[in-house]
Amino acid sequence: MNESLPVLALNGVTRRYPEGDGFLEILRGADGMLWPGQAVALVAPSGAGKSTLLHIAGLLERPDGGVVAIDGEVASELDDRARTALRRDKIGFVYQFHHLLPEFTALENVMTPQLIAGLSKHEARERAYELLDYLGLGARANHRPSELSGGEQQRVAIARAVANAPALLLADEPTGNLDPQTAEKVFSALMTLVRATGLAAVIATHNLELAARMDRRWTLRNGLLVELE
Ligand code: ADP
Ligand code: MG
């Protein structure tokens, strides 16, 4: 990680979807920068384009225009293979629904991305256990997702997202399906990780109380990213 470079830089990002005879303009030139160790809340009404922005920042979707750079690497200048490698090495993604593999245990779910990245089974297991333990799930490591509570499932999903020590964590309403108390637990786990690792995080949320506890707040207004305060 290069401290002088933003982990995430968005420059003039545009995205539109065909609608009827014309287009629905979701992003109209979004600019934003995020540095190591910063957590930014992305707070905007439903339909404003939060998921679209996160998918573009996460290299899951290509913008129609503009530049996305991850840790100084301009994604649009890369071929598909390099882009996939950049995403795998630098970015972790957490969705509103956990998307854990149902037939695997929590431990195996956290091991999987590490095995794909080339770590040995032994190394992957050690790191997975360490992460789960850190997130208060040591005793749940050998349970399958169906045997875990919603909050536990989300914490496993967070452990999986950071298993390969990404520079950037993107979370799309990660506590949106949880009751307030459980949401608090999951959010605390997320912030502990950010604080402990120097990770940068963008967390879309409708929870203003949680947003207030992050370092910065972004909203989307008319397709532009606006810094609040
Ligand atoms: P948010 O996450 O803030 O609720 P989204 O980024 O999911 O917003 O969506 C923004 C807008 O773009 C919505 O009006 C949505 O219906 C529209 N949209 C999102 N994805 C597509 C798509 N693949 N095709 C057409 N419209 C889409
Ligand atoms: Mg969304």
Q: Residues 114-158: pLDDT tens digits?
A: 999 999 999 999 999 999 999 999 999 999 999 999 999 999 999
Query: What was the pLDDT predicted at 129?
Result: 97
Q: If pLDDT is split at 50, 70 and 90, which confidence band does 3 have? A: low
Please give the DSSP secondary-structure letter assigned to residue 39: E
pLDDT digits (tens, 9 = 90+) for 107-118: 999 999 999 999
Query: For ligand 1, is residue 42 a contact (CB within 6 Å)?
Result: no
Q: What is the Cα–Cα distance from 217 to 205, expressed in whole angstroms?
A: 10
Query: For ligand 1, is residue 52 a contact (CB within 6 Å)?
Result: yes
Query: What was the pLDDT predicted at 75?
Result: 94
Helices of type H across the chain: 50-57, 80-90, 106-116, 121-134, 150-161, 180-197, 208-212
* Mutation test residue for ligand 1: of 14, 15, 19, 24, the one with most atoms within 8 Å of CB: 24
Where does residue 181 rank: exposed (0-12), middle (13-18), buried (19+ CB within 10 A)? exposed
Where does residue 89 rank: exposed (0-12), middle (13-18), buried (19+ CB within 10 A)? middle
Q: What is the Cα–Cα distance from 226 to 120, expressed in whole angstroms?
A: 43
Q: What is the Cα–Cα distance from 63 to 32, expressed in whole angstroms?
A: 14
Q: What is the Cα–Cα distance from 9 to 221, expressed in whole angstroms?
A: 18
Q: Taking the model in full, what pTM does it have?
A: 0.94
Query: For ligand 1, is residue 205 a contact (CB within 6 Å)?
Result: no
Average pLDDT over residues 160-186: 92
CA-CA-CA-CA torsion for 134, 86, 83, 6, nearest 10 degrees? 100
52 C-alpha to center of ligand 1: Å?
6
Q: Which two tokens stand for residue 221?
A: 């207004």
Which ligand is the nearest neighbour of the Cα of 176?
2
